[in-house]
A and B are shown apart, each in its own frame.
Chain A
Amino acid sequence: GAVVSQHPSRVICKSGTSVKIECRSLDFQATTMFWYRQFPKKSLMLMATSNEGSKATYEQGVEKDKFLINHASLTLSTLTVTSAHPEDSSFYICSARDIRASGPYNEQFFGPGTRLTVL
């Protein structure tokens, strides 16, 4: 149980194009999903919190017009990197919290990540 998938796993694109990354919770529903970015040999940095049916909450320094997030259903959130540039090349990881989660725990289930390379 508690499986999160991401698609695609790897994408290479030309500078200026837009790239959409999907994050799906396969066997549970998630009102909240999270998007992280990870540079090589570095830690994960939270980019935004994606809320089903409402606007995403972006962390300080993350451009919301650059990284468009849509959480259209309880099992799907998408991150679109608009007009990608080489500096956007990174490993993008999503995570999700089970809608049934209660109590003080904040366990998140992580997807396998998407490696974006912008040429």
Chain B
Amino acid sequence: SQQGEEDPQALSIQEGENATMNCSYKTSINNLQWYRQNSGRGLVHLILIRSNEREKHSGRLRVTLDTSKKSSSLLITASRAADTASYFCATDDRPGANNLFFGTGTRLTVIP
């Protein structure tokens, strides 16, 4: 199965601290994406990193990708209480692929 694993499963930090979440996957990928899900809600797309990219930034988000280790990390800097959510990585294995394979998710709690 391509489904990824994420760690930690849960992370609790103080507001203002940085949060780092990791995602590992099993087979080769085309793109890797990170999504956010508030409790009981749909997913919001955060950032996409291509397989030939190593790092990408978007606002307070920084994503890295190491295809040799089949892993990615999502760093949220200067966290806010509103960042409290579950974060999922998702991969697809070829251009134009339909399937997205989701990781197991990290539940982030930012304490005000």
A-side residues, CB < 8 A to B, are 4, 6, 32, 34, 41-46, 49, 91, 93, 95, 97, 103-113, 115
- Whether A111 pairs with B31 at a CB distance below 8 angstroms is no
- Measured between beta carbons, the chain A residues less than 8 angstroms from B45 are 107-110
- Measured between beta carbons, the chain A residues less than 8 angstroms from B50 are 104
B-side residues, CB < 8 A to A, are 3, 30-31, 33, 35, 40-45, 48, 50, 88, 92, 95-105, 107
- Whether A103 pairs with B42 at a CB distance below 8 angstroms is no
The residue of chain A having its C-beta at the shortest distance from the C-beta of B97 within the complex is: A106
- Measured between beta carbons, the chain A residues less than 8 angstroms from B48 are 105, 107
- Measured between beta carbons, the chain B residues less than 8 angstroms from A44 are 43, 88, 102
Query: Which of B42, B100, B107 sits near A46, CB closer than 8 Å?
Result: B100
Q: What's the Cα separation between A42 and B44 when bound, in Å?
A: 16
Closest Cβ of chain B to A67, distance in Å, is: 17
- Decide: A112 near B88, CB < 8 A? Known: A34-B98, A43-B102, A105-B48: no
- Whether A104 pairs with B41 at a CB distance below 8 angstroms is no
- Whether A43 pairs with B98 at a CB distance below 8 angstroms is no
Pairs across A and B, CB under 8 Å, 28 listed:
A6-B42, A41-B107, A42-B105, A43-B102, A43-B104, A45-B102, A46-B100, A97-B98, A104-B30, A104-B31, A104-B50, A104-B96, A105-B31, A106-B30, A106-B31, A106-B33, A106-B92, A106-B97, A107-B48, A108-B45, A108-B100, A109-B45, A110-B35, A110-B43, A110-B44, A110-B45, A112-B42, A113-B42
- Whether B43 pairs with A32 at a CB distance below 8 angstroms is no
- Whether A113 pairs with B41 at a CB distance below 8 angstroms is yes
Closest Cβ of chain B to A104, distance in Å, is: 4
Known: A45-B102, A46-B100, A104-B31. 15 other contacts (CB 8 A): A32-B98, A34-B98, A34-B100, A41-B105, A93-B42, A95-B100, A106-B92, A106-B97, A106-B98, A106-B100, A108-B100, A110-B35, A112-B41, A112-B42, A113-B41
